[in-house]
Amino acid sequence: MSNQIIQGILLGGYYALIACGLSFMFSVMRIINLAHGSLAVFAAFALWWLASRFHIPPFVGLLIVLPLMAAIGWALQRFLLERSARGGALLPILTTFGLAIVIDNMLFEQFGADTRSLAPYIGSLSYDSWEWPGSIYVGKLAVIMFATAVILLGGLQLFLTRTRLGRSIRATSEDPDTAGLVGVDARRANAIAASIAMVTVGLAGAFLGMRATFDPYAGAPQLLFAFEAAVIGGAGSLWGTLVGGIVLALAQTLGAQVHPQGFLIGGHAVFLVVLFVRLSTSGLGLRGLLRLPSRSAS
Amino acid sequence: MSTVSSSPVIERGTATSRIAAIAVAVIIALLAIAPQFLSAGAVDRMTALFIYVILAAMWNALAGFGGLVSVGQQVFFGLGAYFAIRLADAGLNPFASLFVSAIVVGVLSWPLSLFMLRLRNGEFAIGMWVIAALTHLLVNLDRLVQGETGTSLISLNVYDAGTRRVAIYWLALASMTALLATLFGLLRGSTGAAIRAIRDNEDAAASVGVRVTGTKRLLFVLAAFGIGVAGALWLATSITFQPKTYFNVQWTAYMIFMVLVGGIGTFEGAILGALVFFLIETWFGGTGVWYLVGLGATAVLFSLFLPRGLWGTIEERFGLRLLPVGYRVRLPATAVDGDATPQQSTISREKA
């Protein structure tokens, strides 16, 4: 059982990876990007394409894909989100949902319905494991994934608190108009934030491809996982998403123990339970489950 | 209808809208006798169109009027079909089970609304999606459904194909008419004023005493019921029930497309959007993936460049109002008779 718990915690690292971009974009731009999962799958396909066509190993391929994702994030913010956010809070949901449909079906058109995996291109890493005391085997990839999540979350935290750019992004998320008054370019800050979010999505896509299989329509479940982890982690700091990811993964692991189809059911159920408990304890005005703690009012 | 006074005239019906009302009655009457003249294939297609109109109108009621964008409305579509299967399996007449099933869906949506309506915007949108995904998984556990293999509404086979086709056509037409009439009545009544107040500004509406949550709940339950009817009717036309097909997010994508293109928050827009979608599907549905890419891209373009949709834009440009659910104010100089010219009605800023 302790073996399963450790596997669950490590899987939580993946969920934290995919959730942190969603949570980050929401906290800065107040937009939930429904194309989030599809973009992660897009990154996985890009790596797969580089690996199968040009024999570029996925870890090297990231050097190409991550800058590409950053550029996509910038363009996404400048050309789509910025414009649709002006039309109110509901419009970006529709815009990004439409985008998700376009991405999914373009991927299907390009790569067909076959499920793919990056596992064949990373050599023995996909199945290598370390033996821990108590005859517990942990996959090297799972540990790398978890470590990446911790480093990424820590790095983002440092970036937001310690650097000038990070502070300007936080200022924009607090109040774009006031930030503008003190010389912060809100458009630039938002575009950079979107780029950063998309880089995390690219990383998440890479690990999705390495640890499992994916197909063109795999984006929707990834979006749900990301959303669930972000909400369970809740109003905490970025580290909240790590906790959320771990809770989600543990619930799925537990669900799988109970019933063969219980993996996903367990995850959704724990999400709803957490949501229910939080809604019923916090009383009225529950406006931002994903909100960073720094923003208290409104 | 219109109150006559010296200064601004408040009006609801116009000459155009009275003609439109007669036209609607004539169209419905023609549709009712249409199966006499249509081929079997055409009858099936028309049935599909009626179901699309229901889906569009119900999603529009929720998003356009209640300000609740849900990406999980397929849950009610799937449940509508699932409960129909269950009820028919329990021995209920298959046609009766279609509607009892929708009532069950409506009843179930009530407790769900207590919980979900406390979420806002994007949280509500994806939260509903999670509900749909979970419900799909739970329905798969039912032995009757046999997982993704699915099952069929076998008991419908006692009726011969011709009778069945026409009966389902009439049921779909009647359901569509009844649901549209209910929504229309709701929007014209005092609830309608509350609904439009919430749509325009929720906080302001609450501050003047509009029961925001209660009104939203009403729309949520109505939409759940309507989409449940649509799901059950779809089951009746296609007979087979595969959870994957019915709980597919594609259904919500269609609803969003229809409403965005037609005109979100306008009564006529949803119907127009369903018609447009129906035509596009008829012409391009065979192109498979590109058709879906086109739908997604069109939705993105409309949300960016024409967020009021086709009908919203027409309405704004020409002051045309076929099925008025609101009132509008016209300045006295222009308010002599019911003929609205483009220049005049740009003055009346009232929406829907």
Residue to mutate among B213, B304, B305, B306, with most A CBs inside 10 A, is B304
Question: Binning pLDDT at 50, 70 and 90, where does residue B265 land?
Answer: confident
Taking an 8 Å cut-off on Cβ atoms, the answer to whether B130 and A94 are in contact is no
Minimal Cβ distance to A268: which of B69, B134, B256 = B134
Residue A195 to residue A192: CA distance in whole angstroms:
5
3-state secondary structure at position A259: coil
Chain A residue closest to B142 (CA)? Answer: A261
pLDDT tens-digit series, residues B126-153: 899 999 999 999 998 888 887 777 788 8
% of chain A beyond a pLDDT of 70:
93
CA atoms within 13 A of residue A124's CA, in its CB half-sphere: 3
Strands B328-330 and A136-139: unpaired
Q: Is residue A129 within a helix (H) or strand (E), and if so which, with residue range?
A: strand A129-132
Residue A270 to residue A268: CA distance in whole angstroms:
6
Minimal Cβ distance to B71: which of A97, A259, A288 = A97
**Cβ-based neighbour number of residue B244 at 10 Å:** 12
Domain count of chain A? Answer: 1
Residue B84 to residue B96: CA distance in whole angstroms:
9
Q: pLDDT value at position B37?
A: 85
Residues of B in CB contact (< 8 Å) with A are: 63, 67, 69, 71, 115, 118-123, 125-127, 129-131, 133-134, 137-138, 140-141, 249, 253, 256, 260, 289-290, 292-293, 295-300, 303-304, 307
Averaged pLDDT of chain B: 84
Question: Binning pLDDT at 50, 70 and 90, where does residue B330 land?
Answer: low
Whole-prediction pTM: 0.86
CA distance B53 to chain A (A): 19
Q: What is the ipTM of this complex?
A: 0.85
> Is A91 among the domain residues?
yes
Q: Which of A248, A250, A251, A234 is nearest to A292 (CA)?
A: A234
Residue A4 to residue A138: CA distance in whole angstroms:
10
Question: Binning pLDDT at 50, 70 and 90, where does residue B6 land?
Answer: low
pLDDT tens-digit series, residues A76-94: 999 999 888 887 778 888 8
Burial class for A161, CB neighbours closer than 10 Å (0-12, 13-18, 19+):
exposed
Q: What is the CA radius of gyration of chain A?
A: 19
> Is A255 among the domain residues?
no
> Is A173 among the domain residues?
yes
Averaged pLDDT of chain A: 86
A62-75: average pLDDT? 94
Q: Which of B248, B244, B272 is nearest to B258 (CA)?
A: B272
Contact partners, residue A250, CB within 8 Å, separation at least 6: A5, A8, A9, A12
Minimal Cβ distance to B296: which of A31, A101, A279 = A101
Q: pLDDT value at position B4?
A: 47
Helical ranges in A135-218 per DSSP H: 140-162, 164-174, 176-181, 186-211
> Is A179 among the domain residues?
yes
- Sign for the CA dihedral angle at B316, B319, B324, B328 comes to positive
Q: pLDDT value at position B329?
A: 66
Question: Binning pLDDT at 50, 70 and 90, where does residue B336 land?
Answer: very low
CA distance A158 to chain B (A): 28
Q: pLDDT value at position A285?
A: 40
Residues of chain A neighbouring B249 (CB-CB closer than 8 A): 220
3-state secondary structure at position A136: strand
Residue A144 to residue B234: CA distance in whole angstroms:
48
Question: Binning pLDDT at 50, 70 and 90, where does residue A1 land?
Answer: low
Burial class for B15, CB neighbours closer than 10 Å (0-12, 13-18, 19+):
exposed
A291 has pLDDT over 50 = no
B352 has pLDDT over 50 = no
Q: What are phi and psi of A34, to 5 degrees?
A: -75, -10
B221 has pLDDT over 70 = yes
Contact B246, B159 (CB under 8 A): no
Contact A82, A185 (CB under 8 A): no
B188 has pLDDT over 60 = yes
Containing domain of residue A65, as a range?
2-227
Q: What is the DSSP letter of A298?
A: -
Q: Is residue A100 within a helix (H) or strand (E), and if so which, with residue range?
A: helix A91-111
Residue A186 to residue A171: CA distance in whole angstroms:
9
B72 has pLDDT over 50 = yes
Q: pLDDT value at position B274?
A: 94
> Is A75 among the domain residues?
yes
The residue ranking higher by pLDDT, A155 or B154, is A155
Q: What are phi and psi of A132, to 5 degrees?
A: -95, 160
The residue ranking higher by pLDDT, B103 or B9, is B103
- Please give the angle made by the CA atoms of A253, A257 and A261, to the nearest 5 degrees: 85
Residues of chain B neighbouring A287 (CB-CB closer than 8 A): 120
The residue ranking higher by pLDDT, B169 or A284, is B169
Q: Which of A41, A53, A51, A54 is nearest to A120 (CA)?
A: A51
Size of interface A-B (CB pairs under 8 A): 118
Segment 158-197 of chain A within 8 Å of chain B by CB: none
Q: Which of A38, A30, A177, A174 is nearest to A91 (CA)?
A: A30
Give Cα B341 distance to the centre of its chain: 30
Residue B39 to residue B56: CA distance in whole angstroms:
26
Contact A250, A8 (CB under 8 A): yes
Most confident of A194-198, B1-5, B203-207: A194-198
